[in-house]
Amino acid sequence: MAHDHETRGYDDKKADYLKRLRRIEGQARGLQRMVEEDQYCIDILTQVSAMTKALQSVSLGLLDDHLSHCVVDAARAGGAESDAKIREASDAIARLVRS
């Protein structure tokens, strides 16, 4: 869901997030290479676990940024936008818990 805002909660950490996501992208390529090279299953699973933890770390950081910026700003404004932002954050947390 795209939203038009002048700033994002993660603006000051954007470079860090991009660096981390590029590292995760490299891990995904490494996993593909491991499968292509018929590496040992447990070694592949270990790398999948590391990549999953890296993605979870990015997700939690983005969620924290969203809560401390977007949700707090909406709560200060009150009304329907506040309710929508809280519901949106709650839905995002539920998706993360299920993943």
pLDDT confidence of residue 81: 87
The parent domain of residue 63 ranges over 12-98
- Is 92 contained in some domain? yes
Q: Read off the CATH number of the domain in which 66 is found.
A: 1.20.58.1000
Residue 1 lies in a domain: no
pLDDT tens sequence across 30-50: 999 999 999 999 999 999 999
pLDDT band at residue 11 using 50, 70 and 90 as cut-offs: confident
2 in any annotated domain: no
Tokens 């009150």 belong to which residue? 78
Q: What is the pLDDT of residues 57-95, one digit of tens each?
A: 999 999 999 999 989 998 888 888 889 999 999 999 999
The count of structural domains within the chain is 1
Residue 6 within a domain: no
Lowest mean pLDDT among 8-12, 36-40, 53-57: 8-12
36 in a domain, yes or no?
yes
The predicted model scores a pTM of 0.81
Q: What pLDDT shows up at residue 6?
A: 60
DSSP string, 25-63: HHHHHHHHHHHHTT--HHHHHHHHHHHHHHHHHHHHHHH
pLDDT of residue 52: 96
